[in-house]
Amino acid sequence: MRTTFSRTFFPAALLLLTALLLVGTSFQMLVRNYLNDQALTGLENDANAISSLASAYYTEDSLSGREFFVNLSVASQVSEADAVIFDSRGKLILCSEAPFGCEHQGWTLSGDYLSRVLNQGTVTNTGVFSPLYPDSRYVVSVPIRDARSNACVGVVMVSAPTQSTVTILDRLSDIYLWVSVLVIVLAVLIMTVFARRQSRPLREMAQAASAFGHGDLTARVKVSDAYTREVEELALAFNNMASSLQKSEYQRQEFVANVSHELKTPMTTIGGYIDGMLDGTIPPQRQRHYMQIVSDETKRLSRLVRSMLDISRLQDQGGIPEEKKTRFDLEECAGQVLITFEQKITAKGVYVQVDMPEHPVYTMANQDYITQVIYNLLDNAVKFCPTNGTMGLQIKEGSNKAYITVFNDGETIPAEELPLVFDRFHKLDKSRSQNRDGWGLGLYIVKTIVCSHGEDISVSSAGGKTEFTFTLPLVN
């Protein structure tokens, strides 16, 4: 499997090599063309100068005179070029290296080449011009014209070896090669450091993820200012995910522990009473009493399971679907729920305060779920309200929201307990003894239902008065 380093390094190295190759090739071609043009231009100027010199010395239909031979030799040495002169028929008659005779005297130009020089005026070539020169040369040929008649009386051929250009190109190639090697080495070092630096946080994330997967829920990725913005965002997202999963895992463990604890007492009670009746420890005349206790405990277990299923269903839905919401009168719904507590309220002598608008208050929600919310809140209010105390139900309108408040007198909830009252199985009575009614799921169900509607619920407790307030949307 390819690493991040290899995925970064090899494409960058290939791109760098390609760029160096293209730049080197282009630069060499540019220099070669420039040197060729310069050499040919210089030879053309020399050829024209020698042609003018020859034209000045042309007399009596021939090129002669010791002074011309000397001037030709000097001009050739100054220009560092070889010059040969042909007559009008293309026959070699004079060489700058041996003005008084050379081994090539009498050699004749081809008819095609002579015609090109006469017609074009200037002919340039690059290559081997045998049998005059065995090496590769720049060659420029121009005609010699009579100053009086302008007739062509000969041809001047000036040439220089291309070796000097080749030498310059070779030196440039060597310099470019060494510079390229240096650039590649530096680039490899820089890219290696850069790629390893970039991949280090990814390796740390992989190690943290592996540790997290093996049960270390505290594993986190260190966030550094040296990270790029994308890597920093990834590290923060990983840490947030790890924190969320850690919290979920702790909640799951707590949930399992709480469920186990809550189920243990009634199951032990049921089992003990059943065994007592089977082995005769409980006399027949008392069995009905204990069977009633077993029945009550069974019903309580059934309510616990049903509540847990309701919570699970709401959480799976991720919210209340719109098709399951209806328009209903919130006052009528709350009033009907309050009536169901009439006997409990009367038995405790509780005074009830009801504050609702004189007109209907309509909302759009799931009526069954909202009924359960109000029922759970009123049930708590009656349960924790002292004898002859005061409780109340209030509905107010404002900002396109309906505010439903349930309050009661009684013991003030400690400030450190307020954030926990909506947690699963949380009770102010830490002993969770049997004489305490409820399972600690009522308020958790209330919060789950309200949040599933996209609304909020809050609690306050001060001065012996506790209030629960939740919101619902107002509709016409």
Locate the domains of the chain by residue range: 4-167, 229-316, 322-473
List C-alpha distances in Å: 325 to 246, 361, 368, 398. Answer: 35, 16, 10, 21
The answer to whether 432 touches 341, Cβ cutoff 8 Å, is no
Locate tokens 């309906």: which residue? Answer: 402
In CATH, what is the architecture of 229-316?
Answer: Orthogonal Bundle (1.10)
User: Which CATH superfamily hosts domain 4-167?
Assistant: PAS domain (3.30.450.20)
> Which CATH homologous superfamily contains domain 322-473?
Histidine kinase-like ATPase, C-terminal domain (3.30.565.10)
Residue 458, number of CB atoms within 10 A of its CB: 12
pLDDT value of position 436: 42
Residue 468 near residue 385 (C-beta atoms within 8 A): no
- The answer to whether 389 and 408 have CB atoms below 8 angstroms apart is yes
CA–CA distance, 185 with 463 (Å, rounded to integer): 77
Distance set, CA 59 to CA 86, 146, 171 (Å):
16, 9, 48
Q: How far apart are CA 81 and CA 179, in angstroms?
A: 34
Strand 152-161 to 136-145 pairing: antiparallel
What's the predicted TM-score (pTM) here?
0.46
| Dihedral, CA of residue 109, residue 110, residue 111 and residue 112, to nearest 10 | -120
- 426, 414 Cβ separation under 8 angstroms: no
Task: Output the tens digit of pLDDT for each of the chain's 476 residues.
Answer: 566 666 667 787 788 888 888 888 888 888 888 888 888 888 888 888 888 877 776 665 555 556 666 667 776 766 677 888 888 788 887 777 765 566 667 778 888 888 888 888 888 888 877 777 777 888 888 888 877 777 787 888 888 888 888 888 888 888 888 888 888 888 888 877 877 777 777 777 788 888 877 878 777 777 777 667 777 787 788 888 888 888 777 767 766 766 676 677 678 778 888 888 888 888 888 888 888 888 877 877 777 777 667 666 766 666 778 888 899 999 999 998 898 888 889 999 999 999 999 899 999 998 888 988 898 899 889 999 999 999 999 999 988 999 999 999 988 888 888 888 887 666 655 443 333 444 466 788 888 889 888 899 999 999 889 999 999 999 87
Cα separation, 89 vs 196, in Å, equals: 76
SS (H, E, C) the chain: CCCHHHHHHHHHHHHHHHHHHHHHHHHHHHHHHHHHHHHHHHHHHHHHHHHHHHHHHEECCEECCHHHHHHHHHHHHHHCCEEEEEECCCEEEEECCCCCCCCCCCCECCHHHHHHHHHHCCEEEEEECCCCCCCEEEEEEEEEECCCCCCEEEEEEEEEECHHHHHHHHHHHHHHHHHHHHHHHHHHHHHHHHHHHHHHHHHHHHHHHHHHHCCCCCCCCCCCCCCCHHHHHHHHHHHHHHHHHHHHHHHHHHHHHHHHHHHHHHHHHHHHHHHHHHCCCCCHHHHHHHHHHHHHHHHHHHHHHHHHHHHHHHHHHCCCCHHHCEEEEHHHHHHHHHHCCHHHHHHHCCEEEEECCCCCCEEEECHHHHHHHHHHHHHHHHHHCCCCCEEEEEEEEECCEEEEEEEEECCCCCCCCHHHCCCCCCCCCCCCCCCCCCCCCHHHHHHHHHHHCCCCEEEEEECCEEEEEEEEEECC
Measuring CA to CA, which residue among 42, 67, 45 is closest to residue 142? 45
Distance from C-alpha of 453 to C-alpha of 370, rounded to nearest angstrom: 10
